[in-house]
Amino acid sequence: MTQDQAPSLRRTLTFTEVVLSGVGVILGAGIYALIGVAAAEAGNALWISFIIAALIASFTGLSYMELSSMFPGASAEYEYSRHPFGNKIAFLIGIMVILSGIVGAATVALGFAGYLSAATGVPALPAAVGLLILLSIILMTGIRQSAIFAIVFTLIEAGGLIGIIIIGLPYIGSVDYFATPEGFPGIFAAAALIFFAYQGFEEIVKLSDETVRPERTIPLALLVAIGITILLYIAVSISVVSIGGAEAIAGSPNPFAEIAGQAFSGGYLLFTIIALFATANTALLMMLASSRITYGMAKKNTLPAVFAYVHPGRRTPVVAIVGAAILSMLFLLPGNIRDVALIANFTLFITFIVINAAVIRLRKTMPDTPRPYRVPGTVMGVPVPAVLGILTCLFFLFQLDWQILLIGIGLIAGAAVLGWILSLQRQRSSEGQ
């Protein structure tokens, strides 16, 4: 069977399903897993860190909206960077995106394990591994089944956040919301970490091959999902520090459960269960997105063809799913959720710099290509939000620890070597024909 004759992905997702999937993948990560770690750095000014991180996400989100309207397809960032910068840069960015989802899934699996371990005593690492195995099985059953799980889990996790906001309402105004132990460096460091909480808006474009009318549905769904999550995040961050000050959750592996436990009887157990659903949902959607871009790149012969295999009955890219799960398990090994999250952020910052640059360059090199959505605020032919996206990502890239930067550079070097090896193999294959 040739690749053209192979089964294709099933195009069934609607606007509502894409929005809920996007909200789900964004909400469950940082808010449930990282807010305690971030509170230790930003203090009561945690809400400012969320706003700063939201600005970065918004600038780049606009660029994604334009590019997804130009090039709807599962290979997403690979395709967006290939047109303006060529195959080599596109390959590196494709690998960075795959890694961001894989490392992100590991981060959120550690968040899941933190809540489960605190409540039951189950060791964190086996719990995280078990979650990734279970989610892989769900993903292999089919996109419709995965979407149903995601929608149900999204409603649960959104309900949990609304619950935290309600719990915090009586305490609003009880603390100094500008108090921060580290000053602006702490706020910026927390924002660089919290940026992980917004990871997911870029994953929406990976669903293009399974979405009805993706050139219009995907950009609008992306905008709505970002807007919903920004409002929820700011409200939640204000509520949690209002209840007992940032010190009440600083460094906690299960911050929402502790807050709810202080507020009412049974709150600890209830919010532990909600957090488990929320983190599982985010890990599910991150693995879904990583497997789809792996499939998309393999379909274009950029990655080995085996990753483009689609199960004829389930119509899911099973090899890509298994590969994503195995790599996610490897990134569990550091065990420190903060460091794993920052590694994921490194891959995102690099990717977003290139994505914003792609929008600017394509305005010059492909001016006549249809754009159902265009980034607003153009000055002398240059979209200003894309420029701001590059500058803010560069700034926060250098807020990361030097150890994280070294690991990130190592990942880029490894991706470059992989691209060189695969290029040689393709060259030898073509010469042998």
Write the CA distances from 263 to 120, 237, 259, 260, 271, integer angstroms: 21, 16, 6, 5, 11
Q: Which amino acid is at 231?
A: L
pLDDT at 176 over 50: yes
pLDDT at 4 over 80: no
Q: Which residue has the higher pLDDT, 39 or 214?
A: 39
What is the C-alpha separation between 190 and 37, in angstroms, rounded? 8
pTM, to two decimals? 0.82
Q: What is the pLDDT of residue 232?
A: 87
List the alpha helices (DSSP H) in 121-142.
124-141
Q: What is the pLDDT of residue 2?
A: 46
Q: What is the pLDDT of residue 365?
A: 93
Q: What is the pLDDT of residue 3?
A: 46
Q: Which residue has the higher pLDDT, 279 or 413?
A: 413
Structure-token pair, residue 42: 């930003």
Q: How confident is the model at residue 229 (pLDDT cuts 50, 70, 90)?
A: confident
Q: What is the pLDDT of residue 192?
A: 86
Using CA of residue 262, residue 264, residue 269, residue 271, what is the dihedral sign?
negative
Q: How many CA atoms lie within 13 A of 101 on its CB side?
A: 30
Q: How confident is the model at residue 29 (pLDDT cuts 50, 70, 90)?
A: low
Give the rounded distance of the alpha carbon of 321 from its chain centre.
Answer: 16
Q: What is the pLDDT of residues 383-404, one digit of tens each?
A: 999 999 999 999 989 888 899 9
What is the C-alpha separation between 271 and 261, in angstroms, rounded? 8
Q: What is the pLDDT of residues 120-175, one digit of tens each?
A: 989 989 999 999 999 999 888 876 666 777 778 778 878 888 999 999 999 999 99
What is the C-alpha separation between 90 and 80, in angstroms, rounded? 8
| Range in 141-155, 227-241, 364-378 with the lowest mean pLDDT | 141-155
Q: What is the pLDDT of residues 30-60, one digit of tens each?
A: 678 788 889 999 999 999 999 898 888 888 8
Please give the angle made by the CA atoms of 100, 285 and 385, to the nearest 5 degrees.
55
List the alpha helices (DSSP H) in 195-332.
214-244, 255-263, 267-299, 318-330
When pLDDT is averaged across residues 254-281 and rounded to a whole number, the result is 88
Tell me if 208 sits within 8 A of 76, measured CB to CB: yes
pLDDT at 215 over 80: no
Q: What is the pLDDT of residue 177?
A: 93
Q: What is the pLDDT of residue 30?
A: 63
Residues with Cβ within 8 Å of 143's Cβ and at least 6 positions away in sequence, in order, are 9, 10, 12, 13, 210, 315, 316
| Range in 19-33, 179-193, 356-370 with the lowest mean pLDDT | 19-33
Q: What is the pLDDT of residue 178?
A: 94
Domains defined along the chain, listed by start: 15-424 (1.20.1740.10)
What is the C-alpha separation between 210 and 4, in angstroms, rounded? 17
Q: What is the pLDDT of residue 316?
A: 83
Q: What is the pLDDT of residues 53-91, one digit of tens each?
A: 888 888 888 898 888 778 876 556 778 898 999 988 989
When pLDDT is averaged across residues 216-239 and rounded to a whole number, the result is 84
Rounded to the nearest integer, the mean pLDDT of the chain is 85
Write the CA distances from 89 to 39, 206, 354, integer angstroms: 36, 19, 9
Tell me if 209 sits within 8 A of 11, measured CB to CB: yes
Q: How confident is the model at residue 1 (pLDDT cuts 50, 70, 90)?
A: very low
Cβ atoms within 10 Å of 176's Cβ, excluding its own:
11
| Range in 99-103, 338-342, 419-423, 428-432 with the lowest mean pLDDT | 428-432
pLDDT at 5 over 60: no
Q: What is the pLDDT of residues 100-122, one digit of tens each?
A: 889 989 998 998 998 899 889 89
Q: What is the pLDDT of residue 49?
A: 93
Q: What is the pLDDT of residue 8?
A: 56
Q: What is the pLDDT of residue 196?
A: 81
